Chains A and B, each alone.
Chain A
């Protein structure tokens, strides 16, 4: 049966009054007193919370514990990155001009433009093998 339904229908109304006999029996179980150590602990925590420094002050004063292997690895990576950054890069360095002989007698076109260019109407491609040549 639904608890709310029973409650709404007054089934527990008689139970609203405390049972004095049961209550006196239950109260034989006494809880211990609050210890002084708890008082001191709560007060100490409270003081630490309310006297907390602002973020910027904590940022400059807070220390972080890092495992030694991780710290060594990070330092090594930083050292390598620094060494690579300091080294002069080869890229962009201009090479000295070199004179190159072409293997053919025909002139090599090294510079051209599209002035007077006319597209062909039809393009036929024929492959000439070495033997037919």
Chain B
């Protein structure tokens, strides 16, 4: 809770025009918000728009964040989620795999590993994008961003049981979609080869 109150204090200073306070908060949370938005929407441009609007809403709508109810990270993820869903509805699509940029290959690995890594990343990207949005957000926040089930429930405005259910279904689906990779254990080899 101490970090929550410290962040609330920084936010108060940021609203008063203290640029350093705003930058501290922005640099602390921007990566998480951007990655979450990117994995939800599949577009760098849209993820940047969501991240921008998310941080601006902190200044524009000061009453929305209540430090006694949630951490700033949870609040920002919830704001990013709402903005992402709004954009999804606006564009009438749920997956944007086509406009995703190419995944950067690991240049330190050999040519074969580069190809395999890129192919694997592409497969994972498509598998995650194929999930229904509610399952996708649960997987992204749990598997990629390491949020607790309680925090994910707060972001998604639901209960922990529902999040467990969504995660369970998402994992089942992902295991099915990624079955060849899971079974071949190729990813373990490629990860090991980088060490």
B is a partner of A: yes
- CB within 8 Å of B: which residues of A? 3-4, 6-8, 12, 15-16, 18-19, 21-35, 37-39, 41-43, 45-47, 49-51
Query: Can you show 22 pairs from A to B with CB atoms below 8 A apart?
Result: A3-B165, A3-B166, A4-B162, A4-B165, A6-B161, A6-B165, A7-B161, A7-B165, A12-B167, A15-B164, A16-B149, A22-B171, A22-B174, A23-B143, A26-B174, A29-B125, A30-B104, A33-B31, A39-B26, A41-B52, A45-B56, A49-B59
Chain B residues, Cβ within 8 Å of A41 = 48, 52
Specify the main secondary structure of chain B where it touches its partner.
helix
Task: Determine if A31 and B178 form an interchain contact, defined as CB atoms under 8 angstroms apart.
Answer: no
A7-B162, A18-B143, A25-B187 known; A50 vs B171 contact (CB < 8 Å): no
Partner of B187, one of A24, A31, A38, A51: A24
Kindly list 12 other residue pairs between chains A and B, CB separation below 8 angstroms, not including A29-B39, A46-B59: A3-B162, A4-B159, A12-B164, A22-B143, A26-B139, A28-B124, A28-B191, A31-B38, A34-B51, A37-B48, A38-B34, A41-B52
Bound complex: CA A51 to CA B19 (Å)? 11
Task: Determine if A43 and B23 form an interchain contact, defined as CB atoms under 8 angstroms apart.
Answer: yes
B44 adjacent to chain A (CB < 8 Å): yes
A16-B164, A28-B121 known; A38 vs B178 contact (CB < 8 Å): no
Bound complex: CA A7 to CA B158 (Å)? 13
Closest 7 CB pairs of A and B: A7-B161, A3-B165, A12-B164, A29-B124, A31-B35, A50-B17, A4-B161
